[in-house]
Amino acid sequence: MSLAHASAIFGQLTHYEFDPAEDAAALERLAQWALRRYSPIVMPDPPAGLVIDITGASHLYGGETDLVTDLRQRLLNSRIAAHVCVADTWGAAHAVARFSGQGVFCIPSGGTPEALGSLPTEALRLDPDLADGLRRVGLETIGDLMTTPRGPLELRFGPEPGRRLDQALGRRPDLITPIQAPERIEVDRHFSDPILTSDILLQEVERLSRSLCEALERRSLGALEIDLLTNAVGGEWNALRVGFSSPTRHPERFMRLLKDRLQKTDRGFGIERLHLSASRSAPLIAQQRETLTSSPQVLDIGPLLDVLEARTGKQRLYRIQAVESDCPERSVERVSPLEPPNRARWDPRWPRPARLLEPPDPIETIALLPDQPPVQFTWKGVRRRVLRADGPERIHGEWIRGQDEWMSVRDYFSVEDETGERYWLFREGDGVSLETGSHRWFLHGIFG
């Protein structure tokens, strides 16, 4: 249909000029973004796809499902509609992402045949004319191809349907040519004799690490994240990505994180190429060490944080920092372990419990209004009699946040029950006017 014909039918038709070069450039920029954020092995899949090998990188985001969910949500936030699939092979992920109609789909290991069985043959990246020919003889789905004898199929349609099916099922390699970030600092090494033992592999990776550190030092940079790519005989790439809590260019720090994971790397018939790069870096200028001073040296916990983050993930390591707010749940925040401290401080005159409940638990109490502490309260089905109490400490709402907090009030009490346990309770409202709160009681914290 011509543009003039379509405009005549639909009236107010918005149209854009097709620019293949600009589309390809945009896909390349998107691939570079995924390369920096998710995995060291990324390849554009024109006209509108990305191939991302997340092997060895998914644990940094809490698993495969969390990684692809984060990826799709970030794309949607940028107004890019995307369907994402995780599978054992590129061919299977390509097929399900484009033909299943689901936004996020993770095929369990070994579940590829069941996931592909009902999809059309076009999902195997076949030429449209070839897929149309298969359809004319009754081979409409990938499941039909799986049950068709290979000999007659190749005799009539050639080797392409069988080759694509084998790639999707993992029977034949499907090579990915990863792109490289233009700003990366990288070193590379080829071997005429493939590496078969882990000891030699560790030695060669250590040599590459020293070469990379020398390149970083020439530019006054330190690595925040490094990627190690191993190329086995046959062309299959494997990737390892490790991150650091602070910029570094010490080979020992590189090897501390790479050593254990390298010993588990599948070397196949031998590794014939190693590629090490600093995917993220930051300025790191050498400083003169003070030797004639009695001031104690600052302990560097960066190497310890690197090991813990590699085992548990970056999201699990944090420290608590004070925030300028009277509201207890807003007076703390999670920050990076090495985040510079701010100037906010907690007021020592008003002790706070070691543990805050989020959200506060509702409780049943017996108390005299407006400013008396409760005589007893029931929490989680257990009745507790109050022996001692201190309060009230009145906290007003932060009116700057909105009209809902203009009149809100909380009265906090520190109480001790008959077993010696100490709790932090509060009542919504001032005990007189319902405009200040519902007058319900809550347990907000437990003292250590």
Task: Give per-residue pLDDT as tens, 204-234.
Answer: 999 999 999 999 988 888 888 888 888 888 7
Instruction: Measure the CA–CA gap between 146 and 256, rounded to whole angstroms.
Output: 46
Cβ distance 277 to 39 under 8 Å?
no
Cβ distance 8 to 20 under 8 Å?
no
Question: 170 to each of 16, 117, 167, how far by Cα in Å?
Answer: 40, 15, 5
Question: 278 to each of 30, 42, 213, how far by Cα in Å?
Answer: 19, 15, 9
Q: Which residues pair with 48 in a beta bridge?
A: none
Q: What's residue 58's pLDDT?
A: 77
CA 356 to chain centre: 27
How would you class 280 by CB atoms within 10 Å of its CB: exposed for 0-12, middle for 13-18, buried for 19 or more?
A: middle
The pairing of beta strand 271-283 with beta strand 382-396: unpaired
Q: What's residue 246's pLDDT?
A: 84
Task: Output the six-digit token pair for 127.
Answer: 């030429």
Cβ distance 164 to 91 under 8 Å?
yes
Q: Which residues contact 37 (CB under 8 A, 6 or more apart)?
A: none
Instruction: Measure the CA–CA gap between 256 and 142, rounded to whole angstroms.
Output: 46
CA 203 to chain centre: 31
Question: 143 to each of 146, 158, 199, 404, how far by Cα in Å?
Answer: 5, 18, 45, 59
Q: What's residue 334's pLDDT?
A: 85
Task: Output the six-digit token pair for 172.
Answer: 């034949």
Q: What are phi and psi of 188, to 5 degrees?
A: -140, 150
Question: 397 to each of 229, 333, 407, how far by Cα in Å?
Answer: 54, 19, 7
What sign has the CA pseudo-torsion 241, 244, 245, 247? negative
Domains and CATH numbers, the chain: 10-169 (no CATH), 185-283 (3.30.1490.100), 355-446 (no CATH)
3-state secondary structure of 125: coil
Q: What's residue 183's pLDDT?
A: 67
Q: What's residue 38's pLDDT?
A: 86
pLDDT tens digits in sequence order for the chain, 448 residues long: 888 888 888 878 888 888 888 988 899 999 988 888 888 888 998 888 999 988 877 777 778 888 888 888 899 888 888 899 999 888 999 999 989 888 888 888 888 888 888 899 998 999 889 989 998 988 998 998 999 888 888 888 999 999 999 999 988 888 888 887 766 788 989 888 888 888 888 899 999 999 999 999 888 888 888 888 888 887 777 888 888 888 889 899 899 888 877 877 777 788 888 989 888 888 886 666 555 555 555 567 777 887 787 777 767 788 888 888 888 888 888 888 877 778 777 777 777 888 889 889 999 999 888 888 999 999 999 999 999 999 899 998 888 777 778 889 999 999 999 999 999 999 999 888 888 889 999 999 999 7
Q: What's residue 401's pLDDT?
A: 78
Task: Output the six-digit token pair for 367.
Answer: 């108390």
